Amino acid sequence: MDRRGKGSFSKKADIVVIGAGIVGVTLAIELKQRYSDCSVMLLEKEPFAGFHASGRNSGILHAGFYYTADSLKARFTRDGNILWRDYCREKGLRINESGKLVVAISEKDLVGLDELCLRGERNGVPLHYLTAKEAQEIEPRVITYGYALYSPTTASIDPREVVATKIRDAVNFGIDIQYGCKFLLPGSSGREIITSHGKYEVGYLVNAAGLYADRIALQYGFSDSYRILPFKGLYIYATKRPFKLHTNIYPVPDMSKPFLGAHFTLTVDGHVTIGPTAIPAFWREHYNGVSRFKAGEFFEIVRREWDLFRRNTFGFRDLAFEEIKKYRKGYMVKEAAAMLRGSETLGFRKRGHPGIRAQLLNVKTGQLEMDFKYEGDDRSFHVLNAVSPAFTCAIPFSKYLADRIQQLIK
């Protein structure tokens, strides 16, 4: 690795990681542990870590039964679930180990339940196939068509608390974290970058920039086939607690899509939420109104979405019609009420922080990428499609990515 210094740089580091989301911070720590004599810097454009997806998700530590056994997601979700639960206990972080019921809304979901059960078995994930009566012993108000699946290892954590703790670990490992520092473009020499804080000399660049990962990768000659398609996840919070919810409740997802369907989440502090939606967003950080609007992104994304809508590629038109209805709180509550008796009495009125999924679209095949992707060479490495459940996966995923980086810079 090139460690030569030059006077004209405002800063220099052997390894620079862009993005202080959960993937960036865990990967920076992993690299620092492997290259202890190298300086590692973490750049974050926002004022604090976990500002985007890592601090705006459901906070669920998934168990690992949604994904086919040959996927990276399957392996890393199963292992990540165990590692995060150990980490939270070790650090004294809040964790709600209340499991999850996956319910059948109608007869056609029974095929999906069987498939999930098979995936769970193949992935080595504990999972119980229950009758409706057995499911009601766990959650007396649950509604399911004949059968349900129970995942005992699903848990919820506070994602912001976990990110903040990992950031403290990173500082203790000697990682230099620069907040409010935006990566702008690669410099001319190939060993420098231009940031909002000036020109930095960099030995190796790692891009874990979430919603902007494809843009940065393109600047290094990668992500030729991929662009981020942002999907907005809205949540609504129950404002009343007329009864206690005992577990998380999810529908059987459409397994051709990377979304799990709006569900009831039991947060670490016992609150109940419904969400998230998967509404097509019109720009990358399109959280509310016109906040963070960027005209260039808007035209590019809307053009792409219009094309997918027109062709109904991967059922995008049907998805868009269905999801847009969920802007109405009443619609979301009504849909979710099919899984939980009496849920309307919980008073779902308050909106939570929306989150945006940095979902990768393969522009050559017109399909959404279902698994994690990465590309790189001996100069730079780009983490693409770190979508759900990348939070759960972050620890083993980072080890895997660090192995790939180690091979590239040998």
Ligand X SMILES: Cc1cc2nc3c(=O)[nH]c(=O)nc-3n(C[C@H](O)[C@H](O)[C@H](O)COP(=O)(O)OP(=O)(O)OC[C@H]3O[C@@H](n4cnc5c(N)ncnc54)[C@H](O)[C@@H]3O)c2cc1C
Gap between the Cα atoms of 251 and 109, Å rounded: 9
Shortest distance, CB of residue 95 to ligand X, whole angstroms? 13
Binders in 169-198 for ligand X, by CB under 6 A: 182-183
Kindly state whether residue 208 participates in binding ligand X, applying the rule CB under 6 A: yes
Q: Which of 58, 144, 223, 385 binds ligand X (CB under 6 A)?
A: 58
- DSSP element (H, E) containing 118: helix 109-123
Type of residue at 196: S
- Return the residue of 17, 30, 32, 54 that touches ligand X, per CB under 6 A: 54
| Position 64 contacts ligand X (CB under 6 A) | no
Q: Is 402 in the site for ligand X (CB under 6 A)?
A: no
Q: Nearest approach, Cβ of 368 to ligand X (angstroms)?
A: 14
Q: How many residues bind ligand X (CB under 6 A)?
A: 40
The count of C-alpha atoms lying within 13 angstroms of the C-alpha of 177, restricted to the half-sphere facing its C-beta, is 24
Beta bridge partners of 281: none
Q: Take residue 133 and report the two structure tokens written for it.
A: 């009566």
Rounded to the nearest 10°, the torsion over CA 216, 217, 218, 224 is -150
How far is the C-alpha of 294 from the C-alpha of 302, rounded, in Å? 12
Scan residues 265-294 and list those touching ligand X (CB under 6 A).
Answer: 276
Long-range contacts from 84-91, C-beta under 8 angstroms, 24+ separation: 84/157, 84/162, 84/392, 84/395, 85/61, 85/153, 85/155, 87/162, 87/395, 88/157, 88/162, 91/165
43 near ligand X (CB under 6 A): yes
CA distance 4 to 13: 10
Q: Which of 13, 16, 17, 22 is the binder for ligand X (CB under 6 A)?
A: 22
- Indicate which single residue of 16, 42, 53, 101 sits in contact with ligand X (rule: CB under 6 A): 53
Closest residue (Cβ) to ligand X? Answer: 21
Binding segment toward ligand X, per CB under 6 A, in 51-59, 91-99, 168-176, 335-343: 51-59
- Footprint (CB under 6 A) of ligand X, residues 338-397: 355-357, 386-392
Best CA proximity match to 181, nearest among 409, 382, 31, 13? 13
Nearer Cβ to ligand X, position 147 or 278? Answer: 278
Q: Kindly list the residues in this chain that would bind ligand X in the complex (CB under 6 A).
A: 18-24, 43-46, 51-54, 56-60, 62, 182-183, 208-212, 233, 276, 355-357, 386-392
